[in-house]
Amino acid sequence: MLRVVLSVLFAAFLLLIVLGRYSPDTVSASSAMWSVGIVGLAAIVYSSLNSFNALRHSMGQPAKLVYIGLLFSFLPLLVAAYSIAVWQYSLSKLTTFQVIAMMFGGVAAMIDLVLFSWLLFGQSRNAFGDNRRRA
């Protein structure tokens, strides 16, 4: 369930960036870099919390919750894909900050989907033992 909450919060954060509700303070270059750093830190925290969640995943958890978590993990990736569509086909182009933020968000979402889903399903498969017959 933690995976669902984290995915929704991270997708909402990325959506705020795409819609322009969270924009960098561009008074100086250092303040703009701090804004980019906050987005990068949020992506790292999202990935690390999901990794801890995958590692502590209990075998007693029903498969339905695992699949729901996987579906909700697509939300940040969908926001990043939406930003690509806005960047390419809209009259209002994204700023460099928004493009960099979506790159961070897209990479964090791909790490979550590929690596941690693979880890979760690998644990689930190993929980039932090896079903292959040994010769």
Q: How many domains does the chain have?
A: 1
Average pLDDT over the chain, rounded to an integer: 80
Instruction: Reply yes or no on whether the pLDDT at 68 is more than 70.
Output: yes
Closest CA to 24 of 13, 39, 11: 39
> What are 36-67's pLDDT values in tens digits?
899 999 999 998 888 777 776 655 566 677 77
Q: Confidence band (pLDDT; 50, 70, 90) for 124? A: low
pTM of the predicted model as reported, rounded to 2 decimal places: 0.78
Tell me, yes or no, whether 62 lies in a domain: yes
Tell me, yes or no, whether 44 lies in a domain: yes
Give the position of tokens 């075998």: 59
Tell me, yes or no, whether 61 lies in a domain: yes
Tell me, yes or no, whether 83 lies in a domain: yes
Tell me, yes or no, whether 135 lies in a domain: no
Q: Which long-range contacts (CB under 8 A, 24 or more apart) does 85-88 make?
A: 86/18
Tell me, yes or no, whether 81 lies in a domain: yes
Determine the structural domain holding residue 106 and report its residue range: 2-15+28-127
Tell me, yes or no, whether 111 lies in a domain: yes
Tell me, yes or no, whether 134 lies in a domain: no
Helices (H), the chain: 2-18, 29-55, 63-72, 74-89, 96-111, 117-127
The alpha carbons of the chain give a radius of gyration, in whole angstroms, of 18
